[in-house]
Structure 1
Amino acid sequence: MVEIKETDDPKVFAVKVSGTLGKEEYDILVPALETRISQQGKINLYWEFENFDGWKPDGLWEDLKFDVQHVTDFDKIAIVGGKKWEQTITQLMKPFTTAEVKYFEHEERDEAREFVGL
């Protein structure tokens, strides 16, 4: 499930994800992100995992396609999670973006929000 959160700053995009992400979730997420990027230029991304189980193969493919197309479109990316593998994913994504990427535990949520300007 993808839940796009409203933000006061149009340069900050916030999303909360749970369960397993497939193409149907990316069909919601990608157009919203691309619209924001086209309107604002580079943006900050707040990405929070809550009871996240990973990606379906078609969701992983959609994620990879998006990442390749938007390497330079983010200034900062905050990833909030609570599982070791989520922290590892954060490290693995760093070579695929020019953004400053940081991982935060759930109890550091306020610091993550501050990092991206929420």
Structure 2
Amino acid sequence: MAIVIHEDFDAGRLEVKVSDKLTKEDYTHFEPAVERLIESAGKIKILFVMHDFHGWEMGAVWEDIKFATKHCRDIEKVAMVGEAQWEKWMSAICKPFTMSTIKYFEADQEQEARQWLA
């Protein structure tokens, strides 16, 4: 599995670590976690950490579009932590498609990303 999820109900934060390629099946774990946290906390924050990440398979792209449409108002902030220039560009491309505040952090700035979300 390319995704590891940790739900922090006290902080209203979802921590998502991804590697390899995201698949449609990864969203069967991701989306229910998001929905549980939204139900518990209202608007949530997401820490999205990419390590050795290679993007999305085609089925996962469609799941991501459906997810973004459904939850565009439920996510307050997204901190994206990555290692590659294309991941930084991806964070900028995502901004017009969500009501969330999105900020990119380099791989060695994960602690700063956590502080920004708090």
| TM-score > 0.5 by shorter chain | yes
Matched residues in 2 for 1:34 and 1:8: separation?
A: 12
Check if 1:84 corresponds to 2:81: no
Partner residue in 2 for 1:37: 38
What is the total number of aligned residue pairs between the two structures? Answer: 117
Map of 2:24 onto structure 1 = 23
| SS of alignment partner, residue 8 of structure 2 | coil
- Identify the residue that residue 48 of structure 1 maps to in structure 2: 49
Q: Does the Cα contact within 8 Å between 2:77 and 2:100 map onto a contact in 1?
A: yes
Percentage of pairs with the same residue: 38
Partner Cα distance (1:19, 1:28) in 2: 16
Q: Deviations over 1:22-81 (max 9, x none)?
A: 111011111111111122110011000011011000001101100011111111110000
Alignment-mate amino acid for residue 55 of structure 2: G
What SS does the aligned partner of 2:54 have? strand
Q: Contact between 1:12 and 1:44, CA under 8 Å: does it hold in 2?
A: yes
* 1:5 shift after superposition: 2.3
Distance of 2:104 and 2:9 partners within structure 1: 22
- In structure 2, the gaps of 5 or more residues are none
- Contact 2:80–2:103 (Cα < 8 Å) also in 1: yes
Q: Which residue of 2 aligns with 1:115?
A: 116
What amino acid does structure 2 have at the position aligned with 1:5? H
What is aligned with 2:104? 103
Q: Which runs of 4+ in 1 moved over 3 A?
A: none
Q: In the alignment, residue 105 of structure 1 is paired with which amino acid?
A: E
Structure 2 letter corresponding to 1:85: W
Output the CA distance in 2 between the equivalents of 1:30 and 1:22: 13
When the two chains are superposed, the root-mean-square deviation of aligned CA atoms in Å is 1.2
Matched residues in 2 for 1:71 and 1:8: separation?
Answer: 20
Per the normalisation by structure 1, the TM-score is 0.94
Paired residues of 1:10 and 1:36 also in contact (CA < 8 A): no
The offset of 1:6, in angstroms, is: 4.6
